[in-house]
Amino acid sequence: MVVSHLPSGFLLILSLFAVLVSGSRRTLPIIPFDEGYTQLFGDDNLVIHKDGKKVHLSLDERTGSGFVSQDLYLHGYFSASIKLPADYTAGVVVAFYMSNGDMFEKNHDEIDFEFLGNIRGKDWRIQTNIYGNGSTNVGREERYSLWFDPSDDFHQYSILWTDSQIIFYVDNVPIREVKRTVSMGGDFPSKSMSLYATIWDGSDWATNGGKYRVNYKYAPYVTEFSDFVLHGCAVDPIEQISKCDMAQSSQAIPTGVNPLQRIKMDNFRTKYMTYSYCYDKARYKVPPSECVINHQEAERLKSFDPVTFGGGRRHRGKHHRRSRSSHAEAISI
């Protein structure tokens, strides 16, 4: 196979996919914090541990905190292990995301992992979201529960971004796949972005639409990050020119989630997805054009929330909350 005429960025993606699909994600280099990131805000609310491989961010009444990648990237695989705050975390938002909002104020791109805190006794929730070319008028949110308590220990959260698809992973399990379609046009993220991590006060919306706010009696809220992976195509911020080295691999690779991964993803989504914009009939009378409707997902969400997903009246009834042990058993993947 002759590949010398292909752009270096495309070759990097081929090489990247070959690594990922082979199941060798752990072979990607883990870098010290100072090699890939710099502090964004928060003064001494960001603390780098002595080994340089772990960072904690905290939120108190004075400020939140955050960091940002030193480079811009156009496509790649980006990952960190994260441990979230415990106990009462209503209104607290921890985010691990890509954005170019500082460069493109009115037409920015964004790929988000957002962790939405909760009142004591209720699970943390994950939200993923995607914006392209400033398409914030169409929220592409999905929300999920988890099969573990993310405040007990570190878990890996990862984003794979190519010119044709975006995949979100939790502990190497794909939980969401977004394929680029012609109908999306510029709504698919296509400009170089930085990687961010932040903790901040989202009282106005994060927990039950703002019903429960951050209670600073429980501050500081501390989240920890480690196992940093920035495996992508770095871009010159001024000239927007790729600095990728020529990739050597010419191995043929699959073009999407492989069959085993798809089983795992479908299993996760069946058990733990609690919201998807594609099925939100209160917001969209007709699903956005890129949505691929899964009728099993549609029926499950409709039974979960008939007002949002079915357009009917909400029936009052008892909701039986599954135990954490049943979560662990159900997601044996």
Asked if 214 and 53 touch (Cβ cutoff 8 Å), the reply is no
Distance of CA 163 to the CA centre of its chain: 17
The residue annotated as part of the active site, out of 110, 224, 290, 297, is 110
Which of 35, 61, 114, 329 is catalytic? The answer is: 114
Q: Is 110 known to be catalytic?
A: yes
How far apart, in whole angstroms, are the C-alpha atoms of residue 155 and residue 127? Answer: 16
- At residue 297, what is the residue type? E
Q: Which two tokens stand for residue 28?
A: 């990607």
Q: What gap in Å lies between CA 292 and CA 139, rounded to an integer?
A: 16
Output the DSSP codes for 242-268: B-PPPP-------SS--HHHHHHHHHH
Q: How many angstroms separate the CA atoms of 37 and 34, rounded?
A: 5
Closest CA to 331 of 77, 146, 65: 146
Residue 61 annotated to the active site: no
Q: What is the token pair recorded at 307?
A: 């007002």
How many residues belong to the chain? 333
Q: Which of 113, 156, 151, 147 is nearest to 26 (CA)?
A: 156
Cβ 19 vs Cβ 251: under 8 Å: no
C-alpha–C-alpha distance, residues 209 and 202, integer Å:
10
Active site residues: 110, 114
